[in-house]
Amino acid sequence: MINNQRNLSMLMDSYELTMAYAYFKKGMKDKEAVFDCFYRMNPDKGGYCIAAGLEQLVDYILNMHFSEDDITFFRNKYHFDEDFLDYLKDFAFRGTIYAVKEGTIVYPNTPIVTVKANIIEAQLIETMLLLTVNHQTLIATKASRIVRAAKGRTIMEFGARRAHSYDAAIIGARAAYIGGVDATATVAAEQDYKVPATGTIAHSFIQAFDNEYEAFEAFAQVYPDNCHLLIDTYDVLESGIKNAIRVAKEVLEPNGHRLKSVRIDSGDLAYLSKKVRKALDDAFMSDCKIVISNSMDEYLITSLLDQGAPIDSFGVGERLITSKSTPVFGGVYKLVAIEKDGMLIPKIKKSENIEKITNPGFKKLWRLYSKSTGNSICDVLTTRDEVINEAKEYWFVDPLKPWSEKLTTDFTAVELQKTIIENGKLVYELPTIEEIRAYVKQQLEHELWVEELRFENPHVHYVNQSKKQYQLKMDLLAKAEHMGEN
C-alpha cells in the first residue's frame, strides 16, 4: 500500500550515515562545509539543460527528520552510540541552500545547488538532492528538445505506464510540463502539480463493442463536445477514418458538434497522416486535427515533419518519461570548501580525468548578457568575495584555453544563484509551475543563441572563470600533488 504520508528522510546512501558517525565521533559535527551540485555533460549531446526539482528538494529539506522507528533501525543496523542517536533524534537541517531559480538554463560544471551547512547536515542530504535534481533536470531538458522539434505543435506526455516508478511518472510529468509540453495523461500530476491532464480512449474501448462504428458512436454520444477517436485498432484507411467520418456526419454534426481529432498509434505515420488528412478535407472536416503517438522523440518528430506529415499534435511516452536516448543525468555533489580556524578553506578533487577535476571554493555563478542583443554571452565562476562591475570592461579566463584571456564590454552581469533556505528557514518565494514554465520559454526564445539550440553539434556555451578563481584552482592543483603524502 502506498503511504502518502511517508517520510523520505531515510532515502540516503549508507555511506552518508557511516561518514556522519565518524564526523560526530571525531568532534567535527559543527564544522561547516560547502558542497556544489553540478553536472559534467549535457544529455543527448545537447547545448543546454533546464534546472528542475528545486521545489521538491526544498520540501524534503524542510521536513527532514528521523522517527523512533528510524532511530531503532540505526541502533540495530549500525550500532551507533546513544549520543549520536540523540543527535539524530533532534536532527533538522539548519544550514543554507543557494540554487539557481527552477527553470534556469544551465550548463556543465556550473553549480545548480550549493549547500553551506555543518558537514553532517550537508552529507546526509546528498542522495535526495542528487536524485531530485538529476531526474527532473533530465526530463525537463528532454521535454524541451521534443517541444522544439514539434515547431509549435501540441505535445502531450503519455509516459506514465513506461516510467520507472509511480513517483517518476508523476514528478516526471511535472518536469516535462516545465520543459514545455502542453499536457499529460497522468491524472495525479494535475491533482498534485496542476499539470493539465488529458485523455480519450484506448484500443480496448473499441474492442469492447461489436464493431468499430458502434464504439465511435458510443463515445461521440457521451462526449459530443470533446470527441477524439483512435482510428488504428483495425485498419486506419479501410475502416478507422471512414467510421470516424461517418460518426462525425451521422452523430455529431446533425446535433451541432464537430469531431475534434483522430489519433493514429501505429503504422507508417507519415503516409497514413497524409491519407487521413486528405480524407478529412474531402469530407469538409479541415478543422479536425490529426494526433500521432507511438514511440515519439525529437528525432522521429523532426523526420515526420521533414516528410511533410500533416500532424497537429504528438503524444510522447516512453522516450520522454525515461529520456530513453540518454537515461542518466550525471549530476554530482562535491565538497568545495571546509571550515578551519573559523575560515572556509577551498578544496579540490584532482583526477587523471580532466573533466572530473572540480572547481574549488565557495563561489558565485554569474551570467553575462549583451546589452545590445539581450543574448547571454557566457557564464563566469568567481570567488565569493568578487563582484563583477558592469561599468568597466571585464577580463576573464577560458579554462580550456587559459593562455588567452577574454575581454567583454557593454554587458549586464546577473548572479544566478539565489538564497533559498537560510539557517534552516525558507527565505525564498517558490514560483508556481506556470511561472517556471514561462521562465523557461523566455530564456529559450530571447536569451540563448540559436546555435545553442541545434540538435546536432550545438554551439558550446562558454563557462569561464575570473582570473582570481582560475588562479585558486591552479594553486590547489599544484598543492594537491603532495596532499596524499604524510
Q: Is residue 112 part of a domain?
A: yes
pLDDT at 7: 85
In whole angstroms, how far apart are CA 369 and each of 386, 468, 478? 18, 21, 34
- Tell me how far apart the alpha carbons of residues 149 and 27 are, in angstroms, rounded to a whole number: 55
- 279 and 401 assigned to the same domain: no
- 332 and 472 assigned to the same domain: yes
- 82 and 207 assigned to the same domain: no
**CATH code for position 414:** 3.20.140.10
Final residue of a domain: which of 309, 338, 356? 309
- 355 and 245 assigned to the same domain: no
The total of other beta-carbon atoms located within 10 Å of residue 329's CB is 21
Q: State which residues form the domain around 238.
A: 199-309
Give the DSSP H/E element, type plus range, for residue 78: helix 68-78
Q: Is residue 121 part of a domain?
A: yes
pLDDT at 354: 85
- 398 and 449 assigned to the same domain: yes
- Tell me how far apart the alpha carbons of residues 198 and 183 are, in angstroms, rounded to a whole number: 7
Query: Structurally, how many domains does the chain consist of?
Result: 2
- Tell me how far apart the alpha carbons of residues 139 and 56 are, in angstroms, rounded to a whole number: 15
- 289 and 339 assigned to the same domain: no
- 39 and 83 assigned to the same domain: yes
Contacts of residues 78-83 at CB distance under 8 Å and 24 or more positions apart, as own/partner, are 78/17, 78/18, 78/21, 80/21, 83/24
Final residue of a domain: which of 309, 335, 357? 309
C-beta of residue 175 within 8 angstroms of C-beta of residue 139 = yes
- 350 and 305 assigned to the same domain: no
Please give the DSSP secondary-structure letter assigned to residue 254.
Answer: G
Q: Is residue 179 part of a domain?
A: no
- 363 and 423 assigned to the same domain: yes
Please report the sign of the dihedral spanned by the C-alpha atoms of residue 391, residue 397, residue 399, residue 400.
Answer: positive
Length of the chain: 486
| The three cell numbers locating residue 326 | 540518454
Q: Is residue 283 part of a domain?
A: yes
Q: Is residue 103 part of a domain?
A: yes
Average pLDDT per block of 10 residues along the chain, 486 residues long: 70 97 97 98 97 98 96 96 98 98 98 98 98 98 98 97 96 98 98 96 97 98 98 98 98 98 97 98 98 95 98 97 96 98 95 90 98 95 96 92 87 97 98 98 96 96 96 93 62
Q: Is residue 169 part of a domain?
A: no
Q: Is residue 156 part of a domain?
A: no
- 74 and 212 assigned to the same domain: no
**CATH code for position 298:** 3.20.20.70
- 381 and 474 assigned to the same domain: yes
pLDDT at 326: 96
pLDDT at 1: 38
Q: Is residue 62 part of a domain?
A: yes
- Tell me how far apart the alpha carbons of residues 3 and 361 are, in angstroms, rounded to a whole number: 41
Final residue of a domain: which of 282, 309, 336? 309
C-beta of residue 35 within 8 angstroms of C-beta of residue 361 = no
pLDDT at 355: 86
- 208 and 275 assigned to the same domain: yes
